[in-house]
Amino acid sequence: MVTCVNVRAPSSTANLGPGFDVFGLALDAFYDKITLSKTNKSITTNRPWHGIRILTTDNIPKNPQQNTAGLVIKAMKQKFKIKSGIEIKIKKDVPAGFGMGSSAASAAAAALAFNKLFNLKLDNKTLIKYAGIGEKASAGTIHYDNVAASLLGGFVVVKTKPFDVIRLEPPKDLVLCLAIPQLKVPKKKTMISRSVIPKTVKLSDLTVNLSNAANIVTGFLTKDSELIGRSIQDVIVEPARKHLIPGFSKVKNNALNAGALGVTISGAGPSVIAFCKKSQNLKKIGKSMEKGFNSVKVNCDIIICKPSTGPKIRT
């Protein structure tokens, strides 16, 4: 009988330009770790959060009703009528609030760990739905782009009505260059950056985004990093959000001039992500992005990484 499960789930980038709330790519940059154990304490109340204990040294809520992973465990515990107490150890590695799917990584790891610990054998779509419950707590609305990427690895396409998720293997030569600005991010950053997006869009803008999105999917299907890179173009969400990121246009133009194939906001920002090929001068691209942030007196960290193949589960 399994009494303890360890899961590490990757960071991710959402949207990839035109695929707002639809596209996600798992990033081999940071991993959140969750250790889930059954405790001897058996629970007699019917309050599903009773008996859930969160242990962490990170600066995140310890109350299961406010914690991303805690909410996922609570929902699953209730649904599957699990009576035993549960201890959740959390080690966060994905920087929170920087557009790299931090809450999604913890939520995905929690859903996978619970599934394994209680041998539920749930399918991926069901697990993504449970992980989405945790993501809602931090973003305010449910969107599955980051959780799906974190849970499945690779590139994902999410459809909500009816719910469906497709996973595609990224090209081997695709490399990402992330510029993570050292900014103080507001607490409800995702809510703020969603509030500036237009409620309606021009049909001509929709056509541009749709054609780019279709080309990105084609690029992943045909393993064509150049097609992916040159289709990372968004005329709807990026123009509405870029004022929230100091120096964004400079960072983007510098990276493109240094050879990046495509550049956009990573998820809801403020990190900026450049899509590149392994054979390129990645250091030069990273340096150019750093200079872009430095030009507005913002320091930044540069991370060069590949797509992640997905989470790792250990019992």
At a CB cut-off of 8 Å and minimum separation 6, what does 289 contact? 177, 179, 251, 254, 255, 272, 274, 300, 302
Binder to ligand HSE among 11, 12, 15, 212 (CB under 6 A)? 15
Q: Which long-range contacts (CB under 8 A, 24 or more apart) does 135-142 make?
A: 135/68, 135/103, 135/104, 135/107, 136/71, 137/66, 137/67, 137/68, 137/71, 137/103, 138/68, 138/103, 138/190, 139/103, 139/190, 139/191, 139/194, 139/268, 140/188, 140/190, 140/191, 140/194, 141/194
Binder to ligand HSE among 6, 37, 146, 280 (CB under 6 A)? 146
Q: Is 267 in the site for ligand HSE (CB under 6 A)?
A: yes
Q: Is 268 in the site for ligand HSE (CB under 6 A)?
A: yes
- Which of residues 219 and 270 has its CB atom nearest to ligand HSE in the complex? 270
- Which of residues 234 and 290 has its CB atom nearest to ligand HSE in the complex? 234
Least distance between ligand HSE and beta carbon 106 (Å): 13
- Which of residues 100 and 251 has its CB atom nearest to ligand HSE in the complex? 100
Beta strand pairing status for 163-168 and 155-160? antiparallel
Of 15-23, 124-132, 226-234, 283-291: span binding ligand HSE (CB under 6 A):
15-23
DSSP labels for 131-169? HHHHHHHHHSS---HHHHHHHH-SEEEEEETTEEEEEEP
Q: Is 252 in the site for ligand HSE (CB under 6 A)?
A: no
Total number of residues binding ligand HSE (CB under 6 A)? 12
Q: Is 156 in the site for ligand HSE (CB under 6 A)?
A: no
Residues forming a β-bridge with 12 = 26
Q: Is 189 in the site for ligand HSE (CB under 6 A)?
A: no
| Site map (CB under 6 A) of ligand HSE, residues 190-229, x = contact | x---x-----------------------------------
| Residues 169, 170, 173: CA angle, nearest 5 degrees | 140
Least distance between ligand HSE and beta carbon 14 (Å): 4
- Which of residues 78 and 141 has its CB atom nearest to ligand HSE in the complex? 141
Provide the binding-site residues for ligand HSE, judged by CB under 6 A. Answer: 14-15, 20-21, 139, 143, 145-146, 190, 194, 267-268
